[in-house]
Amino acid sequence: MKRPLILVSNDDGITAKGIRTLVEAAAELGDVLVVAPNSPQSGMGHAITIHSPLKIYASDVFPQVQGCYESSGTPADCVKLAKYYVLKGTPPDLVVSGVNHGSNTSISILYSGTMSAAIEGAIEGVPAIGFSLCDYGKDADFSHTIPYIKKVMAQVLEKGLPKGVALNVNFPKKQEQAIQGIKICRQAIARWQEVFDERQDPYGRSYLWLAGSFVNHDKGNDTDEWAIANNYVSVVPCVFDLTAHHAIATLNEGWEKIL
Amino acid sequence: MKRPLILVSNDDGITAKGIRTLVEAAAELGDVLVVAPNSPQSGMGHAITIHSPLKIYASDVFPQVQGCYESSGTPADCVKLAKYYVLKGTPPDLVVSGVNHGSNTSISILYSGTMSAAIEGAIEGVPAIGFSLCDYGKDADFSHTIPYIKKVMAQVLEKGLPKGVALNVNFPKKQEQAIQGIKICRQAIARWQEVFDERQDPYGRSYLWLAGSFVNHDKGNDTDEWAIANNYVSVVPCVFDLTAHHAIATLNEGWEKIL
């Protein structure tokens, strides 16, 4: 049987530790094509590069895989480059992104470059998964994620995903106790409470660092935040059709006078 | 009665023609605070600036309004800066973004800096609207949008919006025939078919321009694409809870063995 072609990207850049973990896991399940940014792209959301040109070049960071490229683009650009440039229009069988250094639970999915690569895969009709480890530490240990990455990837390769759905998978930080299992979750309704840390540059001009803290008022035990807090792997199926379908009738009624 | 405070941002930058249109319309309905990027940010999606510092400074581009600032940040940064820095934590009464130079219908909502400002407003619990004109021309005529911008803004100021919902409003290009009215729509399921235009720089190195074309296979007459094609204003209510709620049961059943 033909081995599936797995496209691997990320947002921390091709030299990050997290993508090494993902490449190793993917190589056990299929042929691997890496197309990843040549620099960190955290917080890039679903940005694409339209006002400047893109560079892409063969890379020897992962000599063991079937194809490896670095790009100046964003994570979403990398998925577009992989399908339309490297593969000349043929989609891969699976798109995986990560493993992100840091959480992409709850509202962070919107800011996440990792998830934008996965969602871009889903837009292209390819089953797609973003993986993130809830550990920002420079020495973060990814070892406990590997068996779960393989389980989730194998499941998606075997069964596919519902149309228009990508998966947002987060792993708890490594603890003494083993991971408790996998939970299918919804995105916790939470947000960042921002603080701007104001400083002066050497020329006396003010600059700001975005330095917020995460606030979760969602008490549900079916959320990704709950799963992570309880040492489960959280799997949130997510859409790229942003329509608030439930609000269409409400607006049609309430706006009658101006429609 | 106290006039509402309307925050205006965009992604084409504070000097773009489209934001002038929006500021003029907003000033008729409330006090206006402008916090907008100091350079074009099209295609920035929901990017935020976490790897470099931000600058923000008072601007005289709109001397007639209550407050006006330019920022080095993305559209989403601008909304965070407005609430947490300029307004010291007090939310505005309405966030509006645009008027974008170019369409943000269908899947383009994901790549749109304009819509990221609106969605950031919604995350903060503020009613929020992104406006876009389906005309990329340098001399695009925005005049036909003004009465509709005011109608939609007034409606949202009066009635609010369902919790967790922002509006994606697109206007057809100016035509001889007047706009036919406003339609509440769903996001058309469509995507960009990408082409990379490969060139050589003066040093013989290859670079690429992302140059795709929009492909709409969605035949529905309840979509934003249909509305625009038929000279209506499209209003799509959209979410920031990306959970594919309909897929949770499917995954819980199909994945039984690994859960």
Count Cβ atoms within 10 A of the Cβ of residue A199 and give its class: 0-12 exposed, 13-18 middle, 19 or more buried.
exposed
A162-184 pLDDT tens trace: 999 999 999 999 999 999 999 99
Q: In this predicted structure, which of A41-45, A71-75, A182-186, B142-146 has the lowest mean pLDDT?
A: A41-45
A243-254 pLDDT tens trace: 999 999 999 999
**SS3 of residue B226 by DSSP:** helix
From CA A157, how far away is CA A182, in angstroms rounded?
Answer: 17
Among the partner residues A111, A195, A254, nearest to B46 by beta-carbon distance: A111
This complex has an ipTM of: 0.95
Quick check: A181 and A233 in contact, CB under 8 A? yes
Residues of B in contact with A196 (CB under 8 A): 54, 81, 84-85
Pick the CATH number of A5-188+221-258 from 3.40.50.620, 3.40.1210.10, 3.40.50.2300, 2.102.10.10: 3.40.1210.10
Indicate which of B111, B124, B208 best probes the interface with A, i.e. most A CBs within 10 Å of its own CB: B208
B123-165 pLDDT tens trace: 999 999 999 999 999 899 999 999 999 999 999 999 999 999 9
Residues of A in contact with B189 (CB under 8 A): 164, 241
Quick check: A75 and A95 in contact, CB under 8 A? no
From CA B59, how far away is CA B191, in angstroms rounded?
Answer: 38
Report the number of secondary-structure helices (H) and strands (E) in chain B: 7, 13
What is the model's pLDDT at position A42? 87
A6-18 pLDDT tens trace: 999 999 999 999 9
pTM recorded for the entire structure: 0.96
Average pLDDT of chain B to the nearest whole number: 96
* Local confidence band at A78 (pLDDT 50, 70, 90 cut-offs): very high
Count Cβ atoms within 10 A of the Cβ of residue A167 and give its class: 0-12 exposed, 13-18 middle, 19 or more buried.
buried
* Residue of chain A whose alpha carbon sits nearest to that of B205: A55
* Local confidence band at A51 (pLDDT 50, 70, 90 cut-offs): confident
- A152·B246 Cβ contact <8 A: no
Contacts from A176-180 at CB under 8 Å and sequence distance 24+? A177/A231, A178/A144, A179/A144, A179/A148, A179/A231, A179/A232, A179/A233, A180/A230, A180/A231, A180/A232
Q: Which H or E run contains B133?
A: strand B128-133
- B45·A49 Cβ contact <8 A: no
The CATH architecture of the domain made up of B5-191+220-258 is 3-Layer(aba) Sandwich (3.40)
Buried b (16+ CB within 10 A) or exposed e, B40-51: bbbbbbbbbbbe
Identity of the residue numbered B87 = L
Whole-Å CA distances, B198 to A41, A53, B205: 23, 9, 10
User: Which residue has 């909502």 as its token pair?
Assistant: B109
State the smallest CA–CA distance between residue A234 and chain B in angstroms: 11
- B49·A77 Cβ contact <8 A: no
Buried b (16+ CB within 10 A) or exposed e, B180-199: eebbbbbbbbbbbebebeee
Query: Six-digit token pair at A96?
Result: 């995986």
B188-245 pLDDT tens trace: 999 999 999 999 999 999 999 999 999 999 999 999 999 999 999 999 999 999 999 9
**Which residues face A132 on adjacent strands?**
A100, A170
What is the model's pLDDT at position B239? 97
Q: Which H or E run contains A239?
A: strand A233-239
- A241·B186 Cβ contact <8 A: yes
Count Cβ atoms within 10 A of the Cβ of residue A205 and give its class: 0-12 exposed, 13-18 middle, 19 or more buried.
exposed
Among the partner residues A107, A155, A243, nearest to B123 by beta-carbon distance: A107
> How wide is the angle at C-alpha B112 spanned by C-alphas B110 and B115, nearest 5°?
95
Show Cβ contacts of residue A202 under 8 Å, excluding neighbours closer than 6 positions: none
Handedness of CA B53, B59, B62, B64 (dihedral sign): positive
